[in-house]
Structure 1
Amino acid sequence: MSRRDPVVDLREIARLLERHGGQTRRAQTFRRAADTLAALDADVRADLDARRGWGTLAGIGETTNRVIAQAHDGRVPDYLADLQAADGPLAPPNPVMAALRGDLHTHTEWSDGSSPLEEMALEALRLGREYLAITDHSPRLRIANGLDRERRLAQLAEIGALNEALPGFTVFAGAEVDILDDGALDGDEDTLGRLDVVVASVHSKLAMDAAAMTNRMVAAIARPRTDILGHCTGRLVAGDRGTRAQSAFDAEVVFEACRHFGVAVEINSRPERRDPPTTCWRWPPTWAACSASTPTRTPRGNSASASTGPPGRPRRGSRPNGSSRVGSRNGWPSGWRSGPRGGDSLGFER
């Protein structure tokens, strides 16, 4: 029986873990093991194979060692076989899935993702996508290994090289940027101005007062560099990070601000998020978990994370679909107010 490549099997396990369970940390374990094996000198690798000594390597634990041994013996590793048996479409065929052309919110191993940038792009190609935005975290989110200016510029160079290597496919340079307490964006203006896509998200003080959270989110939406409002409630419903309650805010005001300023509202479909929840979109709306009050009309906004919009590299700092900004967006939206409930517009004023 011919040997299998354990590096390939370890990476496939990591891919399937992320694809179906949002198990990023566990996936990282398998991907690190693959990287450890791949980096070995050929003679060292041959010696380890001969004496089945893979478990002596740093980063190779009991489970990953078993995967390597079974692949070395020419077997499909049991761990991989179980994942493959459970694999299947993430959703039944539907018009939305058929229309998807790209994804505008992704993380790589540059921040808290577990996949290399190149591997992300190749997976997008495998899925039939036309473009992919790389939106690793901004510097303030240290727990997620956010990119400072120096690392961001290095990543921009790597993205440029990848675009040269993948004709017919576009990798957009982006960032998921923290919304600070006052609604400012985390990052210097020059660095943000070099990006194609900016996803603005709240990652701190998620339990703040609903009125304060509403002001904070609207202020960020009004910033000229904001293209997409990310995972607006911040909730976690599954996955290896546990669960987290969603934030409270006036969803009618926030989504109307997005409509007014041409900012997309992300539909984050990762299994552990599924954000915003359906309570934010039903008609008649039931907003108790999102709002400080109950509005009487349907919010209007755009979906973003997986996009049906046209590809093609946008102007730096503009949205990929080329839609124009509306109104003044210089800092805090002073003078904004919500109009009468049930009206056609919340009447954002300048």
Structure 2
Amino acid sequence: MRPTDALDEIAFLLERDLASPYKTKAFRGALAALGSLSDEEIAARVEDGRLKRTKGIGSTTYTVIEQAVEGGIPDYLADLRERIGGPVTDAGGKLRAQLKGDLHSHTLWSDGTTDLASMARTARRLGHEYLVASDHSPSLRVANGLSTERLEEQLVEIDGLNAEFDDFRVLTGIEVDILLDGELDQSDDVLERLDIVVASVHSKLRMDSREMTERMLAGIRSPHTNVLGHCTGRLVQGSRGTRPESTFDAAAVFAACAENDVAVEINSRPERQDPPDNLIQIALDAGCLFSIDSDAHAPGQLGLLDLGAARAEANGVPADRIVTTWPADRLLEWAR
């Protein structure tokens, strides 16, 4: 196989398995070090020893490249395929096959681990028709949230990327904080220009239930909000430990989502599993739309949609009420 494909697949599988970013960085770094070299040039540099001395190529990644050049499946990749290859879960496959895109992803512009182009190309390879670039908003400084000026720069990059594709679209977006007073953490003028706005609570998650309800209702009622992201903020596993659900009046919040045509996100990250099953049922009964999203911070994590599809299917969410099963034109008409 091609050395670049081997490195990319290894990184993808490690990222999807939520391995340490330090581990995946080695393979993404080696892929970048190969740059635009042809397979023939890579083989020549293996042959004469230059590749082993190339910055960004370590002993493990060199062995992967060398074995690929020799015509085999690198041992490292073969082992990963055996252990964690295939779908993340066998459940939800029918619904997963109907998903056409992902409205929640992060890149190096905020707290993601890779550039937007890498995210887009991986999404396209997975069969997506579109991916929303939804990096964080300014107040989330710990996640390098985008100022208005930096978001403007990202929009220029998105225009350039879309010029490369004829069967895939990068949609403009943001994961905007719902601030303590319910206002969205970006100007109306900027939000008006974006294709998709995911609004989420990231701070003061343990605030009083009544106050949290009012905060969320204000964010949902903003004319710019399209999706309510990871609504409880809970963490149920993973390296960050656990965190209880925020408390709020779920009936009121989901009734507002239905009334304002705001989709409830089914967040696919295994550490979130948000909303919990009982809240999905309340949102279903309220007549809500849903969006199955990966909340990916690395290309491989785009594959976590398998988990979100499995949860949606298990909870009886109809496919046509999931906006990420819609083609891009229908999605954008709804969002507008």
Check whether TM > 0.5.
yes
- Structure scoring higher RCO (CA < 8 A, sep ≥ 6) equals 2
SS at match of 2:60: helix
State the SS of the aligned residue for 2:176: strand
Q: Which residue of 2 aligns with 1:311?
A: 328
Query: How far off its partner does 1:213 sit?
Result: 1.0
Q: Amino acid of the residue matched to residue 184 of structure 2?
A: L
What is the CA–CA distance in structure 1 between the aligned matches of 2:246 and 2:47, rounded to whole Å? 51
Retained in 2: the 8 A contact 1:11–1:30? yes
**Match for residue 34 of structure 1 among 16, 31, 36:** 31
Among 59, 64, 71, the residue aligned to 2:65:
71
CA contact (8 A) 1:232 1:275 kept: yes
- Describe how 1:22-101 pairs up with structure 2 within 5 A: 26-36=23-33, 38=35, 46=45, 50=49, 57=55, 65-73=59-67, 74=70, 76-85=73-82, 86-92=84-90, 94-101=93-100
Over 3 Å counting, the alpha-carbon distance change for 1:197 and 1:25 in structure 2 is: farther
Question: Aligned residues, how many?
Answer: 297
Deviation of 1:106 (Å): 1.2
Alpha-carbon distance, 1:33 to partner: 4.4
Contact map agreement 1:121 1:132 (CA 8 A) in 2: yes
8 Å contact from structure 1 (residues 22, 239) kept in 2: no
- Percent identical across equivalent pairs? 48
Q: Does 1:215 pair with 2:232?
A: no
1-structure distance, mates of 2:132, 2:13: 21
Q: Secondary structure at the match of 1:221?
A: helix
Conserved? CA contact 1:236–1:272, under 8 Å: yes
Stretch deviating more after TM superposition (261-270 or 86-95): 86-95
Structure 1 unaligned regions, length at least 5: 288-296, 325-350
Change (3 A) 1:189 1:48: farther
Which amino acid counterpart does residue 305 of structure 1 have in structure 2?
Answer: I
Separation in 1 of the partners of 2:201 and 2:181? 11
Q: 1:263 and 1:24, CA in 2 relative to 1: closer, same or farther beyond 3 A?
A: farther
Structure 1 counterpart of 2:229 = 230
**Counterpart residue identity of residue 67, structure 1:** T
Task: Please list the CA deviations of residues 122-178 of structure 1 after superposition, one character each: whole Å capped at 9, or x if unmatched.
Answer: 222222222211111112212212111222111111111222221132221000001
Q: 1:13 to 1:109 in 2, by over 3 A?
A: farther
**Distance change >3 Å, CA 141–CA 264, structure 1 → 2:** same
Displacement of 1:216 after TM fit?
0.8
- Aligned-partner Cα distance in 2 for 1:264–1:151: 27
Contact 1:281–1:299 (Cα < 8 Å) also in 2:
no
Instruction: Indicate conservation of the 8 Å contact 2:6/2:64, yes or no.
Output: no
Report whether the alignment pairs 1:20 with 2:32: no
SS in 2 for 1:267: strand
Query: CA offset at residue 202 of structure 1?
Result: 0.8
Q: CA RMSD in A?
A: 3.1
The Cα of 1:72 is off from its aligned counterpart by 2.5
CA contact (8 A) 1:178 1:185 kept: yes
Q: Distance in 2 between matches of 1:37 and 1:238?
A: 36
Equivalent positions of 1:162-181 (< 5 A) are 162-181=161-180
Change (3 A) 1:155 1:298: same
| Residue aligning to 1:335 | none
Q: Give the greater-gyration-radius structure (CA).
A: 1
- 112-121 or 174-183, which deviates more: 112-121
Amino acid in structure 1 at the alignment position of 2:325? T
- Counterpart of 1:260? 259
- State the 1:90 CA deviation: 2.8
Greater share of helix: 2
Letter of the 2:158 counterpart:
I
* Change beyond 3 A, Cα 1:53–1:97: closer
Match in the other structure for 1:340 = none
Query: 2:296: which partner in 1?
Result: none
Which SS does the other structure have where 2:268 is aligned? coil
> Could you report, residue by residue, the CA deviation over 1:239-292 in whole angstroms, capped at 9, with x for unpaired residues?
34333222111111111110111111111112222211112134xx6x9xxxxx
Distance in 1 (CA, whole Å) between partners of 2:163 and 2:51 is 41
1:216–1:23: structure 2 CA closer, same or farther, 3 Å change rule? farther
- Name 2:334's counterpart in structure 1: 322
**Kept after mapping to 1: 8 A contact 2:195/2:335:** no
The aligned residue for residue 244 of structure 1 is 243
Q: Is the 8 Å Cα contact of residues 174 and 196 (structure 1) preserved in structure 2?
A: yes
Q: CA 1:117/1:323 → structure 2, altered by over 3 Å: closer, same or farther?
A: closer
Partner SS for 1:258: helix
CA contact (8 A) 2:238 2:271 kept: yes
Q: Following the alignment from structure 1 to structure 2, what is the Cα–Cα distance between the partners of residues 219 and 26?
A: 41
1:126 corresponding residue in structure 2: 125
Distance 1:51 1:31, change over 3 A: closer
Flag structure 2 segments of 5+ consecutive residues without an equivalent.
294-323
Q: Tell whether 2:287 aligns with 1:300.
A: yes
Q: Is residue 215 of structure 2 the alignment partner of residue 198 of structure 1?
A: no
